[in-house]
Amino acid sequence: MSSVQIRDVRKSFGNFEVLHGVSIPIEDGEFVVLVGPSGCGKSTLLRMLAGLENITSGTISIGDRVVNNVQPKERDIAMVFQNYALYPHMTVADNMGFSLKLRGAKPEEISTGVKRAAEILALTPLLDRYPRQLSGGQRQRVAMGRAIVRDPQVFLFDEPLSNLDAKLRVAMRTEIKELHQRLKTTTVYVTHDQIEAMTMADKIVVMHDGIVEQMGTPLELYDTPANQFVAGFIGSPAMNFLKGKVKSNGVAGFEGPNGVKLPLKTAPANSEGQPAVYGVRPEHFTIADDGAEAEIVVVEPTGSETQVFAKLGGEQIVAVFRERHQFSPGDKVRLKPDPALVHLFDETTGKRLNG
Amino acid sequence: MADIAIAPRRAKTEIREASAWDQLKHNRNWLGFWFMVPALAFLIFFLAYPLGLGIWLSFTDTRIGRVGQYVGTENYEWLWDDAIFWLSVFNTLLYTFVASAIKFGIGLYLALLLNENMPFKAMLRALVLIPFIVPTVLSALAFWWIFDSQFSIISWSLKQMGLITENINFLGDTTWARICVIFANIWRGVPFVAITLLAGLQTVQPSLYEAATLDGASRWQMFRFITYPLLTPIIAVVMTFSVLFTFTDFQLIWAMTRGGPVNATHLMATLSYQRAIIAGQLGEGAAISSAMIPFLLAAIMVSWFGLQRRKWQQGENND
Confidence band (pLDDT; 50, 70, 90) for A317?
very high
Residue A351, in any domain of the structure: no
Same domain flag for A148 and A267: no
Q: Which of B207, B213, B215 to probe the A interface (max A CBs under 10 A)?
A: B215
CATH number, domain with residue A283? 2.40.50.140
Same domain flag for A170 and A266: no
Among residues A199, A228, A257, the one where a domain terminates is A228
pLDDT (0 to 100) of residue A228: 94
Q: What is the pLDDT of residues B76-122, one digit of tens each?
A: 998 899 899 999 999 999 999 999 999 999 999 999 988 888 888 88
Same domain flag for A174 and A242: no
Find the mean pLDDT for residues B193-200.
92
DSSP assignment of A3-58: -EEEEEEEEEETTEEEEEEEEEEE-TT-EEEEE-STTSSHHHHHHHHHTSS--SEE
Cα–Cα distance, B303 to B249 (Å, whole number) = 19
Q: Which residues does residue A337 pair with via DSSP β-bridges, in sequence order?
A: A285
Query: Which of the residue ranges A99-103, A172-176, B185-189, B305-309 would you say has the lowest mean pLDDT?
Result: B305-309
Confidence band (pLDDT; 50, 70, 90) for B1?
very low
Structural domain that includes position A186: 4-228
Among residues A184, A202, A228, the one where a domain terminates is A228
Domain boundaries B74-308, corresponding CATH code: 1.10.3720.10
Find the mean pLDDT for residues B144-150.
85
Same domain flag for A199 and A118: yes
Residue ranges of the domains in chain B?
20-57, 74-308
Q: Classify each residue of A326-339 as buried b or exposed e, where b means 16 or more C-beta atoms within 10 Å of its C-beta.
A: ebeeeeebebbbeb
DSSP assignment of A332-355: EEEEEE-GGG-EEEETTT-BB---
Same domain flag for A23 and A137: yes
Contact B216 A99 (CB under 8 A): yes
pLDDT (0 to 100) of residue B9: 55
Q: What is the pLDDT of residues A272-316, one digit of tens each?
A: 888 899 999 999 999 988 888 899 999 999 889 999 999 988 899
Q: Which residues does residue A137 pair with via DSSP β-bridges, in sequence order?
A: none
Confidence band (pLDDT; 50, 70, 90) for B318?
very low
Q: Where are the alpha helices (DSSP H) in chain B?
A: 2-6, 11-14, 20-25, 28-43, 49-57, 74-80, 83-114, 121-128, 130-133, 136-146, 153-160, 174-202, 206-215, 219-222, 228-247, 251-256, 268-273, 282-307
Q: What is the pLDDT of residues B15-42, one digit of tens each?
A: 677 788 888 878 888 888 889 999 999 9
Q: Which of A95, A142, A135, A137 is nearest to A120 (CA)?
A: A142
Q: Which residues of A touch B (CB under 8 A)?
A: 50-52, 72-73, 77-79, 81, 83-90, 98-99, 102-103, 130-133, 136, 139, 146, 150, 163
User: What's the burial of B151, exposed, middle or buried (CB within 10 Å: 0-12/13-18/19+)?
Assistant: exposed
Contact B214 A50 (CB under 8 A): yes
Contact B205 A85 (CB under 8 A): yes
Q: Which of A167, A177, A193 is nearest to A82 (CA)?
A: A193
Same domain flag for A287 and A222: no
Residue A48, in any domain of the structure: yes
pLDDT (0 to 100) of residue B311: 64
CA–CA min distance A47, chain B (Å): 10
pTM: 0.79
Phi, psi of B86 (to 5 degrees): -65, -35
Considering only CB atoms, B312 lies closest to which of A51, A132, A150, namely: A132
Same domain flag for A204 and A243: no
Same domain flag for A52 and A201: yes
Q: Which residues does residue A242 pair with via DSSP β-bridges, in sequence order?
A: A278
Confidence band (pLDDT; 50, 70, 90) for A49?
very high
CATH number, domain with residue A25? 3.40.50.300
Residue A45, in any domain of the structure: yes
In chain A, how many domains are there? 2
Considering only CB atoms, B207 lies closest to which of A83, A102, A150, namely: A83
Cα–Cα distance, A270 to A93 (Å, whole number) = 67
Q: What is the pLDDT of residues A55-88, one digit of tens each?
A: 999 999 998 899 999 988 888 899 999 888 999 9
With 80 as the cut, is the pLDDT of residue B226 above it? yes
CB A247 within 8 A of CB A254: yes
User: Interhelix angle for A166-183 vs A136-149, to 10°?
Assistant: 20
Same domain flag for A161 and A18: yes
Same domain flag for A30 and A133: yes
pLDDT (0 to 100) of residue B319: 43
Same domain flag for A52 and A155: yes
Q: Where are the alpha helices (DSSP H) in chain A?
A: 42-50, 92-102, 107-120, 136-149, 166-183, 194-200, 218-223, 228-233
User: What's the burial of B94, exposed, middle or buried (CB within 10 Å: 0-12/13-18/19+)?
Assistant: middle
Cα–Cα distance, B303 to B294 (Å, whole number) = 14
Residues 6+ away with beta carbon under 8 Å from A245: A254, A255, A273, A274, A275, A276
pLDDT (0 to 100) of residue A236: 86
With 50 as the cut, is the pLDDT of residue A227 above it? yes
Find the mean pLDDT for residues A325-352.
90
Same domain flag for A340 and A205: no
